[in-house]
Amino acid sequence: MAPPHRQAGRVARFAGPFPPLRGSVALGVVAMAAVAAATRWRLLLVLSAAGLGVTGAPQPPNILLLLMDDMGWGDLGVYGEPSRETPNLDRMAAEGMLFPNFYTANPLCSPSRAALLTGRLPIRSGFYTTNGHARNAYTPQEIVGGIPDSELLLPELLKEAGYTSKIVGKWHLGHRPQFHPLKHGFDEWFGSPNCHFGPYDNKARPNIPVYRDWEMVGRFYEEFPINLKTGEANLTQIYLQEALDFIKRQQAAHRPFFLHWAIDATHAPVYASRPFLGTSQRGRYGDAVREIDDSVGKILHLLRDLSIAENTFVFFTSDNGAALISAPRQGGSNGPFLCGKQTTFEGGMREPAIAWWPGHIPASQVSHQLGSIMDLFTTSLSLAGLEPPRDRAIDGLDLLPTMLQGRLTDRPVFYYRGNTLMAVTRGQYKAHFWTWTNSWEEFRQGVDFCPGQNVSGVTTHSQEEHTKLPLVFHLGRDPGERFPLSIASTEYLDALRQITPVVRQHQEALVPGQPQLNVCNRAVMNWAPPGCEKLGKCLMPPESVPEKCSWPH
Q: Is 109 annotated as a binding residue?
A: yes
Contact (Cβ atoms closer than 8 angstroms) between residue 3 and residue 26? no
Give the DSSP H or E segment for 416: strand 412-417
Residue 468 burial (CB count, 10 A):
6
Characterize the bridge pairing of strands 102-103 and 97-98.
unpaired
The span from the CA of 191 to the CA of 514, in Å, is 27
Which distant-in-sequence residues (6+ apart) come within 8 Å of 301 by Cβ? none
The span from the CA of 86 to the CA of 93, in Å, is 11
**What are the DSSP E strand ranges found in 172-222?**
188-192, 209-212, 215-219
Q: What SS3 state is found at 134?
A: coil
Q: Which residues are catalytic?
A: 109, 172
Q: Is 227 annotated as a binding residue?
A: no
How remote is the C-alpha of 267 from its chain's centroid?
A: 14
Q: Is 305 annotated as a binding residue?
A: no
Contact (Cβ atoms closer than 8 angstroms) between residue 288 and residue 264? no
Q: Is 70 annotated as a binding residue?
A: yes
Burial grade of 24 (CB within 10 A; 0-12, 13-18, 19 or more): middle
The span from the CA of 177 to the CA of 458, in Å, is 42
Contact (Cβ atoms closer than 8 angstroms) between residue 283 and residue 328? yes
The span from the CA of 293 to the CA of 278, in Å, is 15
The span from the CA of 247 to the CA of 168, in Å, is 12
Burial grade of 160 (CB within 10 A; 0-12, 13-18, 19 or more): middle
Q: Where on the phi/psi map is residue 356: left (φ > 0), alpha (ψ -120 to 50), or beta?
A: beta
Q: What SS3 state is found at 415?
A: strand
Q: Is 69 annotated as a binding residue?
A: yes
* 412 phi/psi in degrees, rounded to 5: -85, 160
The span from the CA of 542 to the CA of 348, in Å, is 36
How remote is the C-alpha of 536 from its chain's centroid?
A: 35
Contact (Cβ atoms closer than 8 angstroms) between residue 294 and residue 337? no
Instruction: Give the bridge partners for 185, in sequence order.
Output: none
Contact (Cβ atoms closer than 8 angstroms) between residue 319 and residue 106? no
Annotated binding residues for Ca(2+), written as ranges, equal 69-70, 109, 319-320
